[in-house]
Amino acid sequence: MAKRGRGRPVIQTLTDPQKRLLQAIEAYLVQNGMSPTMRELAEEVGHGVASVFKQVQRLERNGYISRVPGKTRSLTVLRSADEEPVVGLVAIPLVGTVVAGQPLLAQENVLGELLVDATTVRTGRHFALKVSGRSMIDAGINSGDVVIVRQQPLADHRDIVVALLNDEATVKRLHHRGSEVSLLPENPQFKPIPVGPDDDLRIVGKVVAIRRR
């Protein structure tokens, strides 16, 4: 069984089509010394480009390959199709507070470690944060729950994020349309938080799972 470090991508069982696709990528890299394009890969396996692209995305999410969005030949094999699957738990830092001006995982912020299912933290660095307050109860996040967060500086419209707004940490749903940005609670008793041009908004990460208290 391969040794896994904290936050390392997870190996999951391959379906037969995924295994054939991964083997085709490996073979092309060996024979040509460069990554295939999506069209070349589709011709290799005899499927449409759209279908192959979806399978590539799934292989990427499961930690078998990596790619650079927008680049034609950027597929890199991280795990061979012949490797045995790795399953189990991964330890991630449990953070008590998110404080502006401090490194997120500074020693004084970390309360300990939390074991989570490896499939939850497939790629990237993750941390766990204990939630205080009732502003997100309609999203199923109650006071005392722990959210599992993937560290990332950007997020999409409607993502639930951990954000720093003017040096205050909060868990909210991101609303981003054109020039309008706001942080939305999921509780009618709380008002949306508009983000103005003079506000300092920083996305700490995206909530990917919830651990009930």
Q: Which residues are catalytic?
A: 135, 172
**DSSP-H helix ranges across 91-160:** none
Cβ proximity of 89 and 126 under 8 Å: no
Nearest CA among 93, 152, 160 for reference residue 124: 152
Hey, which residues does 77 pair with through a beta bridge? 65
Helix, strand, coil % in the chain, rounded to nearest 5 = 20, 30, 50
Cβ proximity of 156 and 107 under 8 Å: no
